Chains A and B, each alone.
Chain A
């Protein structure tokens, strides 16, 4: 594209340019996603779940920890308990809403942490290259030799049960995946003319990475990271389901599913409710991530 005479390029741009002011890339992406009905529906569902989890204490719900031996395992639709009660007689509606707090944190935090660590590692590996690249990328390869579920369970099984350990183990699972994506997009950008120009004008490697490269690769890495949230939600709740994450009596969807498992012969559909919440959050994040990906692909 640089061999074209300058005047021809300018002419072409002037002819193609609309009369109105050209919109920026992110404004265009924003508009495209706002027009996507599926993405918007998912965003609204997620927003409702997030808001209710945050505002839970002010929603006038029952105490999610207070049980009662005489009203255990009530069915869905019992008056006063719209979603029934659990095996210790605690209100399911309250526990599902309060459960969103821990479930969302332990599901989303590992992806955020892995996004920060993986992006930094990938940026350094991709931009500096050479031995540093080899060292980082070969270490990453070792983690690819484990199926991700096995790796998460191996680490949190060795570290022992607990919320922090489960977050650590999931972060370890996602860092290699994000690093690989970050490294490949950075390698693609680092030999472009504008990076060369920055280098020629005397910018140091840190400045180039932060100012010139990060802005050009962050979008792609971010979309990839959003697609991991769904898996992370399922795995985080899965660790709690196995007894490796949250401990009772904390309301958390995976753990609730585990403790209610014994009740499936008595009150099956109440026992299935926490999983439906995990499913809803996971599918909404997946669809939203797909929507974001196609909104960012302007050429289509």
Chain B
């Protein structure tokens, strides 16, 4: 097991460096001067050159990348152009809110997905399977930002039950686990949960159907094992794949939250990314994307290791 973990970690290193390279290059594919946001329009050539040297933009690209990577390894992602505060601190504060949202959505989406998937897999080709499958297809096909708007229209505008935007009373950004804050989480979490719900339902349904049609299930039933015992075998066989899919979905929720956070003005990493884009705050843009992508890479690593821990066939492969 340790050898497997070591191998996976070694494999991740080139990925991390390439991810950093992509994030670094993002700033260099932007049209125009990267200094455009800090440089006054009437700045002299001399001042521009001075500033370019100060930011290191006058050096060759590979050198710039090396220096940037070295600083990033020390946790220095530069300062935000808009606020002047360190990028890493800004990003980490926002990521906390995104994690809260993603975990709430995962609880809803995964529970619903597993339940619907099991029911659909057990009762294949019946009306209940068709209902669960339609629900899943709707979940993966709905533009989630629109679903968020519709939920706001129903529960905030028409019924006035839940708040439409923000993450706490009076625009507060500090999260607390009480109803005053939780009611702000309900609509964004439901909206975020529909895609994972749909995907988990489809995965679990396919897995359950496959496992139930295998010979060993027949054999278990033939030797007189009660249905609960058979069910335990189904779960055990479906778990590794289902877990991998759920891990990946959690990563997508963390990294792809920008649309939902924009709809609900949820002060997370996606919302931060949105403002970085529109204020042309390039260090913040670069830093946010780097941190989110690294989260995703590490989550994938964890999923791989967890999968190997519960499924002995993987380590040998």
Q: Do A and B come from one complex?
A: yes
Set B14, B15, B157: member contacting A268, Cβ < 8 A: B157
Given contacts A149-B259, A238-B143, A242-B262, contact A158 B149 (CB under 8 A): no
Q: Which residues of A contact B31 (CB under 8 A)?
A: 159-160
Q: Within 8 Å of chain B (Cβ to Cβ): is A245?
A: no
Q: Within 8 Å of chain B (Cβ to Cβ): is A119?
A: no
* Structural contact, B273 and A264, CB atoms closer than 8 A: no
Q: Within 8 Å of chain A (Cβ to Cβ): is B1?
A: no
* Structural contact, B146 and A272, CB atoms closer than 8 A: yes
* Structural contact, A142 and B22, CB atoms closer than 8 A: yes
Q: Within 8 Å of chain B (Cβ to Cβ): is A85?
A: no
* Structural contact, B259 and A242, CB atoms closer than 8 A: yes
A to B contact number (C-beta, < 8 Å): 131
Given contacts A146-B19, A153-B273, contact A237 B30 (CB under 8 A): no
Given contacts A150-B292, A153-B273, contact A238 B285 (CB under 8 A): no
* Structural contact, A149 and B29, CB atoms closer than 8 A: no
Q: Which residues of A contact B19 (CB under 8 A)?
A: 142, 145-146
* Structural contact, B259 and A157, CB atoms closer than 8 A: no
Q: Within 8 Å of chain A (Cβ to Cβ): is B241?
A: no
Q: Mark B10-33, 1 if CB is under 8 A from A, else 0.
A: 000011001100110011011100
* Structural contact, B29 and A159, CB atoms closer than 8 A: yes
Q: Within 8 Å of chain A (Cβ to Cβ): is B141?
A: yes
Q: Which residues of B contact A157 (CB under 8 A)?
A: 273, 276-277, 285
Chain B interface size, as a band, is: 35 or more
Q: Within 8 Å of chain B (Cβ to Cβ): is A125?
A: no
Given contacts A142-B15, A146-B19, A159-B30, contact A241 B140 (CB under 8 A): no
* Structural contact, A241 and B26, CB atoms closer than 8 A: no
Q: Mark B109-149, 1 if CB is under 8 A from A, else 0.
A: 00000000000000000000000000001101111111101
* Structural contact, A141 and B15, CB atoms closer than 8 A: yes
CA A145 – CA B15 in complex, angstroms?
7
Q: Within 8 Å of chain A (Cβ to Cβ): is B274?
A: yes
Q: Within 8 Å of chain A (Cβ to Cβ): is B86?
A: no
Set B146, B149, B263, B296: member contacting A145, Cβ < 8 A: B296
* Structural contact, A149 and B149, CB atoms closer than 8 A: no
Q: Which residues of B contact A153 (CB under 8 A)?
A: 258, 273, 277
Q: Which residues of A contact B285 (CB under 8 A)?
A: 154, 157-158
Q: Which residues of B contact A274 (CB under 8 A)?
A: 146
Residue of B nearest to A230 (CB): B141
Per CB-CB distance, the 8 closest pairs between chain A and chain B, nearest first, are A275-B146, A149-B256, A147-B255, A283-B141, A157-B277, A142-B18, A268-B153, A150-B255
A-B CB contact pairs (8 Å), 22 listed: A142-B18, A145-B296, A147-B293, A148-B252, A149-B256, A150-B255, A150-B256, A150-B258, A153-B258, A155-B26, A157-B276, A233-B143, A234-B141, A234-B143, A242-B262, A243-B278, A269-B153, A272-B146, A275-B149, A275-B150, A282-B142, A283-B137
